[in-house]
């Protein structure tokens, strides 16, 4: 039971997906009307999934905790979305996109899933363009492309610096069309509290109405989680404040394996921490590295105005260390390089925890108008926050917690180890290995929602046509609701003195210091003890005002932070177990003489899939061994 089986189709890599679709089980249009599907989350995966499934004829219930689906965190994606269209005629192809993702992920992703993601990328651009997404265009009207970190071609489609918002609006419009047709029933301001499993299969969810406090039961033939990542475990991150990992965590505690939880991307270009009162950090798109040059002064502690520091006294360290890719090295490489410069005393700004991202040369060569056309809204955002114009003064940037490559383990069907429970987008682990290439999150999320899940879920639902759904009065629903309510009341009854936010902030500091950009055995073991102590203090002294049956945002926060304590321990244990360095996971004990990540392929070429064993028992590790038949596994070099 629960044995890992990735269910990868036979045949050549480039033919697996087409052969899968040719052989998969179908559900006839008349039978689709008899099947109900729950989709939790309305971001760049959830909205397309709900819309596409409804368009196919299924009955869909869509859930989000925001007041409207269009407030999903996907709106914050800035730089672009990848596709292998090869519009620039610069040598791009589906295989090259696949290879860049495998290499960028430091050979810790499953070949078949990554190739499929690359394969459907072109259809995504056609879909979004047909929906009216206003991608940037060349003078002749063709869609424009720019390049991103970790690649040597231009394949990223963009809408200035607000691509995520525009792409999400395409999915949102498709979703609202199905709502108007009556094929999607929308439930906003709902928090998913638990997965309901009946006879071994996911059959529904328990939710709380965040306006009235009412606890609700919802039943379906299949459940899809499109609930994003858990980067807010660091407290300060680029994610929306309310982003969380609770839905995935509840699925884990019901039997879904959690894959590679310690693989968390630290984004290299974020506005540095400005004060101790911040609740989040602001992303500055990786696309800025196309025209911006990253540097620090050659002299330690140089406090001069950056415009007064001549070129010969500047260290363009990425261009110096990685001449083949320069400022466009992958995110993990750029983030560690910035940290190293700052830790060595070359950082800038009041805290010394920042480096410069300079557009002087680009403005001089291309003109302010051209640069504004590419990045205008990002420059305005930076100036609004810092009071300085990037047209005149270099930006200051520093790495911050961003994207989680880890997530619920899924097979080729995007199904978890709980039959009938699917996870798509950032909620699953599947396509990015140990480090995600820029502009591949929108690509993977949209691909899962529009083109992959609608096929793979059919393969599952074809055997569910005659299944009679259980009543929401079934014992499994009653038990799940009672357990959820008991837990919420437990928060309310603690009646301590400290706020939820204070605990979240302290947990975030522990995770950032010991399980962030750099990790070592001593620090990780220390972190486990610190997390455990803080968790006990939380359950003893947190203060939750208000009641269950009313709007209670502190109660919402408490349930999420309580989950973060448990998830944090799984992340740290996963990081302790993986003694190699790979991608964003950097164990100080495993590095080259030049300070680069050093994999240990003969011991760690696997996906770590963790199984919940109980609150008082250590999780059980399962290993999905990775086989590379279409790429040569070698040292990742960007020099």
Q: Which residues of 269-286 are buried (b: 16+ CB within 10 A; e: fewer)?
A: bbbbeeeeeeebbbbbbb
224 falls within a domain: no
Name 63's bridge partners: 40, 187
503 falls within a domain: yes
541 falls within a domain: yes
Question: How many C-beta atoms lie closer than 10 Å to residue 369's C-beta?
Answer: 9
88 falls within a domain: no
| Selection from 303, 306, 297, 313 nearest residue 358 by Cα | 306
| Selection from 13, 32, 12 nearest residue 461 by Cα | 32
One-character DSSP codes across 319-363:
HHH-TTTGGGS-HHHHHHHHHHHHHTT---TTTS--EEEE-HHHH
Cβ atoms 249, 566 nearer than 8 A: yes
Question: How many C-beta atoms lie closer than 10 Å to residue 499's C-beta?
Answer: 16
Pairing of the two strands 407-408 and 395-404:
unpaired
The pLDDT tens digits for 467-479 are 999 999 999 999 9
Distant-in-sequence, close-in-space partners of 303: CB < 8 Å, separation ≥ 6? none
pLDDT at 1 over 70: no
What whole-number distance in Å separates Cα of residue 65 and Cα of residue 189? 4
Number of domains in the chain: 2
315 falls within a domain: yes
Mean pLDDT value of segment 477-486: 98
Mean pLDDT value of segment 258-272: 97
* Structural domain boundaries, residue 310: 268-400
* Domain harbouring 323, CATH code: 3.90.700.10
- How does residue 639 score in pLDDT terms, banded at 50, 70 and 90? confident
| Selection from 595, 225, 254 nearest residue 426 by Cα | 225
- Pair of tokens at residue 198: 């009946």
* Domain harbouring 526, CATH code: 1.20.58.100
Residue 221 DSSP one-character state: S
Both 388 and 503 in one domain: the answer is no
pTM, entire model: 0.97
The end-to-end CA distance of the chain, in Å, is 46
- Pair of tokens at residue 124: 């995504």
| Selection from 243, 82, 47, 55 nearest residue 153 by Cα | 82
Both 383 and 494 in one domain: the answer is no
Q: What residue has token string 């199904």?
A: 415
Percent of the chain having pLDDT more than 90?
Answer: 98
Q: What residue has token string 């729950």?
A: 38
- Domain boundary among the residues 369, 400, 431 is at 400
- Pair of tokens at residue 390: 């990037």
CA angle 320, 321, 324 (to 5 degrees): 90
Q: Is 304 a catalytic residue?
A: no
SS3 282: coil
141 falls within a domain: no
- Domain boundary among the residues 352, 375, 400 is at 400
Q: What residue has token string 């899809």?
A: 224
> Edge-to-edge strand order for the sheet containing 190-198?
190-198, 201-209, 215-219
Cβ atoms 438, 288 nearer than 8 A: no
The pLDDT tens digits for 443-466 are 999 999 999 999 999 999 999 999
Both 384 and 499 in one domain: the answer is no
- Pair of tokens at residue 466: 């005659």
300 falls within a domain: yes
The pLDDT tens digits for 101-151 are 999 999 999 999 999 999 999 999 999 999 999 999 999 999 999 999 999
| Selection from 446, 402, 85 nearest residue 265 by Cα | 402
What whole-number distance in Å separates Cα of residue 597 and Cα of residue 604? 13
pLDDT at 2 over 70: no
Q: Which residue among 71, 108, 293, 331 is the active-site one?
A: 331
Residue 283 DSSP one-character state: B
Q: What are phi and psi of 208, to 5 degrees?
A: -120, 125
The pLDDT tens digits for 75-115 are 999 999 999 999 999 999 999 999 999 999 999 999 999 99
The pLDDT tens digits for 530-558 are 999 999 999 999 999 999 999 999 999 99
What whole-number distance in Å separates Cα of residue 233 and Cα of residue 575? 15
Rounded (to 5) percent helix, strand, coil in the chain:
40, 15, 40
284 falls within a domain: yes
Average pLDDT, the chain: 97
- How does residue 255 score in pLDDT terms, banded at 50, 70 and 90? very high
Both 282 and 374 in one domain: the answer is yes
């Amino acid at each position: 039971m629960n044995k890992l089986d990735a269910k990868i189709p036979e045949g050549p890599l480039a033919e697996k997906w087409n052969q899968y679709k040719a052989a998969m089980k179908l559900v006839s249009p008349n039978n689709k009307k008899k099947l109900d599907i729950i989709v939790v989350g309305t971001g760049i995966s959830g909205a397309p999934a709900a819309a596409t499934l409804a368009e196919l004829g299924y009955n869909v219930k869509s859930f989000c905790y925001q007041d409207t689906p269009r407030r999903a965190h996907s709106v914050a994606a800035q730089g672009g979305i990848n596709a292998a269209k090869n519009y620039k005629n610069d040598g791009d192809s589906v295989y090259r996109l696949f290879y860049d993702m495998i290499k960028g992920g430091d050979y810790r992703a499953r070949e078949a899933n990554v190739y499929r993601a690359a394969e459907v990328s072109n259809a995504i651009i056609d879909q979004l363009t047909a929906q009216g997404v206003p991608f940037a265009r060349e003078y002749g009207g063709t869609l424009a492309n720019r390049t991103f970190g970790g690649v040597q071609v231009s394949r990223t489609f963009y809408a200035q610096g607000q691509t995520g918002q525009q792409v999400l609006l395409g999915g949102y419009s498709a979703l609202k069309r199905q709502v108007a047709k009556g094929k999607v029933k929308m439930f906003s301001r709902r928090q998913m509290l638990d997965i309901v499993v009946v006879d071994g299969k996911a059959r529904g969810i328990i939710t709380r109405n965040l306006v009235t406090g009412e606890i609700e039961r919802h039943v379906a033939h299949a459940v899809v989680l499109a609930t994003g990542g858990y980067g807010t475990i660091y407290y300060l991150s680029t994610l929306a404040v309310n982003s969380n990992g609770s839905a995935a965590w509840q699925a884990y505690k019901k039997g879904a394996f959690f894959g590679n939880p310690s693989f968390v991307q630290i984004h290299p270009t974020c506005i540095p921490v400005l004060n101790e009162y911040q609740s989040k950090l602001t992303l500055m798109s990786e696309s800025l590295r196309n025209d911006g040059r990253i540097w620090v002064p050659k002299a330690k502690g140089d406090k001069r105005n950056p415009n007064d520091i001549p070129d010969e006294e500047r260290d363009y360290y990425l261009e110096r260390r990685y001449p083949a890719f320069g400022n466009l090295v992958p995110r993990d490489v750029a983030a560690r390089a910035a940290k190293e410069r700052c830790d060595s005393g070359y950082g800038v700004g009041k805290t010394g925890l920042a480096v410069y991202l300079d557009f002087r040369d680009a403005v001089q060569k291309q003109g302010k108008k051209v640069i504004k056309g590419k990045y205008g809204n990002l420059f305005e955002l930076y100036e609004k926050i810092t009071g300085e114009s990037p047209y005149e003064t270099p930006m200051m940037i520093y790495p911050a917690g961003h994207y989680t490559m880890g997530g619920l383990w899924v097979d080729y069907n995007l199904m978890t180890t709980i039959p009938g429970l699917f996870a798509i987008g950032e909620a699953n682990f599947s396509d990015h290995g140990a480090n995600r290439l820029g502009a591949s999150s929108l690509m993977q999320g949209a691909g899962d929602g529009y083109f992959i899940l609608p096929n793979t879920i059919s393969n599952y639902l074809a055997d569910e046509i005659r299944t009679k759904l259980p009543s929401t009065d079934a014992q499994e629903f009653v038990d799940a609701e009672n357990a959820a309510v008991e837990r919420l009341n437990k928060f309310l009854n603690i009646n301590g003195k400290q706020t939820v936010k204070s605990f979240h902030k302290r947990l975030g500091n522990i995770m950032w210091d010991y399980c962030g950009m750099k990790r070592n055995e001593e620090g990780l073991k220390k972190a486990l003890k610190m997390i455990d102590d803080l968790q006990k203090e939380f359950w003893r002294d947190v203060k939750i005002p208000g009641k269950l049956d009313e709007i209670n945002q502190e109660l919402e926060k408490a349930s999420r932070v309580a989950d973060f304590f448990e998830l944090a321990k799984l992340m740290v244990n996963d990081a302790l177990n993986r003694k190699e360095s790979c991608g964003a996971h950097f164990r100080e004990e495993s590095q080259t003489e030049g300070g680069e990540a050093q994999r240990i392929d003969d011991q760690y070429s696997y996906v770590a899939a963790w199984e919940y064993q109980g609150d008082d028992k250590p999780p059980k590790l399962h290993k999905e061994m990775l086989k590379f038949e279409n790429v040569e596994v070698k040292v990742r070099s960007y020099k």
